[in-house]
Amino acid sequence: DAGITQSPRHKVTETGTPVTLRCHQTENHRYMYWYRQDPGHGLRLIHYSYGVKDTDKGEVSDGYSVSRSKTEDFLLTLESATSSQTSVYFCAISPPGQGFNEQFFGPGTRLTVL
Amino acid sequence: KNQVEQSPQSLIILEGKNCTLQCNYTVSPFSNLRWYKQDTGRGPVSLTIMTFSENTKSNGRYTATLDADTKQSSLHITASQLSDSASYICVVSGMYSGGGADGLTFGKGTHLIIQP
């Protein structure tokens, strides 16, 4: 998985609780992304980062926040989890010089919100 | 709105047979098209990428074709193996400026099952 780890790999939580997912890379790539994958929807971009402390919203950013204090770590936070956020979350990275096109994905985190 | 439509949604074939998956897109202007393979419980892995000037690209038993005029692509799998059982996702990149994140449009995937 191209030097990308995600933690936790599985999580069950209750509605209203805060949740933080972590993506860690060892490739020193500039771009990092968070996607969610749901049946019938395909992959949808939540947030992305183009450098330390530089982030921007994607297609489905409502209810999510991100932070990137180090090149290697990109955190996704659900401030108050809802059942609609039950999904599989994938982190991806892009090598330098290729912008948005060349992406490598992590193994995913399966989140269940009860 | 940019769209990527894949067909069929699911497909079952016998081991050793060939198959072809389809991808139609409306993304314009077009930059490149990528096919990903996603095994159950894992992240997508890139198979091929083609720019508008390329009309075919191979990766082992996988051959992707692209017709930029009709905005269609296909992924052909030759002599299928049990390990080919997976979802195959078509991703189209439009032109973007400043490294913006709205350059990729993902299809919903074709779920392929290879039976022995």
- Which residue among A31, A41, A100 places its CB closest to the CB of B93? A100
* B42: closest CA of chain A, how far (Å): 5
Compute the average pLDDT of residues B28-44. Answer: 91
Tokens of A37: 């994958």
Whether the CB-CB separation of A31 and A14 falls below 8 Å is answered with no
pLDDT, residue B99, reads: 47
pLDDT higher for B5 or B93? B5
> Among all residues of chain B, which has the CA nearest to that of A34?
B101
Q: What is the mean pLDDT of residues A89-110?
A: 82
Q: What is the mean pLDDT of residues B35-40?
A: 96
Dihedral sign of CA atoms B43, B111, B86, B91 in order: negative
**pLDDT over 90 at A96, yes or no:** no
Tokens 């994938």 belong to: A90
Cβ–Cβ below 8 Å for B101 and A56:
yes
> Is A40 near chain B, with CB under 8 Å?
yes
| Residues 6+ positions from A108 with CB-CB distance below 8 Å | A6, A9, A37, A88, A89, A90, B41, B42, B43
Spatial distance between the Cα atoms of A47 and A38, rounded to a whole number of angstroms: 16
Q: Residues A42-63: pLDDT tens digits?
A: 899 999 998 899 999 988 999 9
pLDDT range class, residue B28, cuts 50, 70, 90: confident
Cα(A109)–Cα(A89) distance, integer angstroms: 5
In chain B, the residue whose alpha carbon lies closest to the alpha carbon of A94 is B99
User: CB-based contact (8 Å) between A64 and chain B?
Assistant: no
